[in-house]
Amino acid sequence: TKPSDDILCPNSQFHCPNSSTCCTMLDGSWGCCPMPQASCCGDKVHCCPHGTSCDLAHSRCLTV
């Protein structure tokens, strides 16, 4: 069972701490981005803070 303050990742038994975000990784498994309500990047490696988007071409996060 998961701790009550954890979040459950979609369609999964995997969970992350409440202050993080579930993101799919390259191998298709779940990982935890250490920021709440983060944006998971399309490279399935990085994530950006809430309210920003991934600029993979320049390896940065952009304010939306």
pLDDT digits (tens, 9 = 90+) for 8-51: 999 889 999 999 999 999 999 999 999 999 999 999 999 999 99
Here the tokens at position 58 are 């320049």
What is the distance, to the nearest Å, from the Cα of residue 31 to the centroid of all Cα atoms in its chain?
Answer: 7
User: What pTM does this model have?
Assistant: 0.85
| DSSP states of the chain | ---TTEEEPTTSS-EEETTSEEEE-TTS-EEEESSTTPEEPTTSS-EE-TTEEEEGGGTEEEE-
CA distance linking residue 29 with residue 49, whole number of Å: 21
Domains and CATH numbers, the chain: 6-63 (2.10.25)
| CB 17 within 8 Å of CB 11 | no
